[in-house]
Amino acid sequence: MNIFVGSLPYSTTDEELEAAFTEYGEVTSARVIMDRYTGRSRGFGFVEMANQEQAKAAINAMNGKDLQGRALTVNEARPREDRAPKRDRW
């Protein structure tokens, strides 16, 4: 199950995100989303967990939990919608 994690502190690393969720089960991957232009965190990320029951337990436990002074927003990730390509503005 893919989990959305919002309101991450900008200093959070992939490893820290993974460690926060490992307590609830096996984490397949954990990724903090970075801005492609600045290289800085965008303040959200995704955690993939193999077991759906463990993922639901993690969502319930981590939603609203404080991480480095910020209350996390945690829920099941929605599928990414296809977006039209951006056109250059000239």
Q: Which domain holds residue 43?
A: 2-76
Q: Give the span between the Cα atoms of 82 and 47, in whole angstroms.
A: 21
Looking at the structure of the chain, the number of domains it has is 1
**For residue 21, what is the domain's CATH number?**
3.30.70.330
Give the contacts of 43 (CB within 8 A, at least 6 positions apart).
6, 7, 8, 9, 10
- 12 belongs to a structural domain: yes
pLDDT in tens, 32-69: 999 999 999 999 999 999 999 999 999 999 999 999 99
DSSP string, 7-51: S--TT--HHHHHHHHHTTS-EEEEEEEE-TTT--EEEEEEEEES-
pLDDT in tens, 15-29: 999 999 999 999 999
- 90 belongs to a structural domain: no
- 83 belongs to a structural domain: no
- 64 belongs to a structural domain: yes
Tokens of 47: 């955690």
- The one-letter code for the residue type at 35 is D
